[in-house]
Structure 1
């Protein structure tokens, strides 16, 4: 019997993931049965179960693919010859997500909502988000070391806000319809262009008296 190539195995796995994603997007996670996925992919139950024991495993694989794509953008930014700007990093991360998410953006929200009932998926997303926050903090620290950002702001705080920008963009796209990545990039670049420090009396925590 001829051996099945790794490329064939990966192509079949992708076929199942993408077919399931179409079902989830169309009918919702809980409204989709494994039989629906068999029909959508044109594969037998045995062929699908060879890769995934159930819907939960498929949606976990979807989450992993997206998070791997985003983390790759951060790793590349940290490995570059200069600190990449926030708008560049987020735009590249979102473009990579678009390359992976060949289905409606609303599925992202469905995946997030599943974390409230699926501890395994919650663990995957929690670990990934902490990892991305740490990666952002390293980028922010490099800005401060290169004199590009005020050093009196905790890198972890900036990291959380930048992470929220990307998450908020995905939510807007899911709820409001098509939204180009360039919108996020332009918006961040506009905020970054302010370049003005607050007067001392307007700094948070300043004595109003």
Structure 2
């Protein structure tokens, strides 16, 4: 039997994850069955279960993949000296994350923001998914803290604020923007960049 290439395995896994993401965004986690995923991905049960044992594992894989990409992007930025300013950095990372999945849409709208909202809800009943999410957010926050320390070392950010406090604020900003994409409608990531740039430019009034 011919050996299946890694590229083929990766492409099949991508096909399954994309199919699952579309189903989850369209109908929610609980209203989606594994049969729905099989139909969307156009694969047999054997092909899908070779990679994932069920819905919970699919959901966790989608979450871990996205958070891993975001973390990697911030870690790459941390290796620059100094890193790009927050408005440029956050806009760049979110743009890459959203663009990578822009082909996946439901009713003409990207699936990714809708999935974010659903994942938050699901963590209230699924401790395994909550653990995946917490681990992913912690890794992203740690990467941001490294960037903050680089800002402080370069003298471009005040040093009397703990890096983790800044990191948590920036993570919250990015998450909030993604949530808005789902709840109040899409907006280009440049909107977030402009807002951050304006906040960064504020100075204390004289007198």
TM-score, normalised on structure 1?
0.90
Structure 2: tracts of 5 or more residues without a match: 106-110
Q: Is 1:89 aligned to residue 89 of structure 2?
A: yes
Aligned residues: 199
Secondary structure, in 3 states, of the residue corresponding to 1:177?
Answer: coil
In the alignment, the residues of structure 1 paired with residue 35 and residue 177 of structure 2 have an alpha-carbon distance, to the nearest angstrom, of 33
User: Residue by residue, what CA displacement relative to the aligned partner does 1:60-109 show, whole Å, maximum 9, x if unpaired?
Assistant: 11001110110111111111232211112211221222144334221111
Q: Is 1:149 aligned to residue 138 of structure 2?
A: no
1:199 Cα offset (Å): 7.6
Does the aligned pair in 2 maintain the 1:66–1:100 contact within 8 Å?
no
Structure 1: tracts of 5 or more residues without a match: 201-209
User: Residue by residue, what CA displacement relative to the aligned partner does 1:165-195 show, whole Å, maximum 9, x if unpaired?
Assistant: 001001100101111111111111111112x
User: Residue by residue, what CA displacement relative to the aligned partner does 1:115-149 show, whole Å, maximum 9, x if unpaired?
Assistant: 11111111111111112222212211221121111
Tell me the C-alpha RMSD between the 2 structures.
1.6
Decide which structure has the larger Cα Rg and report it.
1
Does the aligned pair in 2 maintain the 1:83–1:139 contact within 8 Å?
yes
Secondary structure, in 3 states, of the residue corresponding to 1:171?
Answer: helix
4+ residue stretches of structure 1 with deviation over 3 A? Answer: 99-103, 197-200
Which region of structure 1 is more displaced relative to structure 2, 17-26 or 140-149? 140-149
In the alignment, the residues of structure 2 paired with residue 160 and residue 97 of structure 1 have an alpha-carbon distance, to the nearest angstrom, of 19
Higher RCO (CA < 8 A, seq sep 6+): 2
In the alignment, the residues of structure 1 paired with residue 184 and residue 136 of structure 2 have an alpha-carbon distance, to the nearest angstrom, of 26
1:1-209 alignment runs, 5 A limit: 1-101=1-101, 102-103=104-105, 104=111, 105-194=113-202, 196-197=203-204
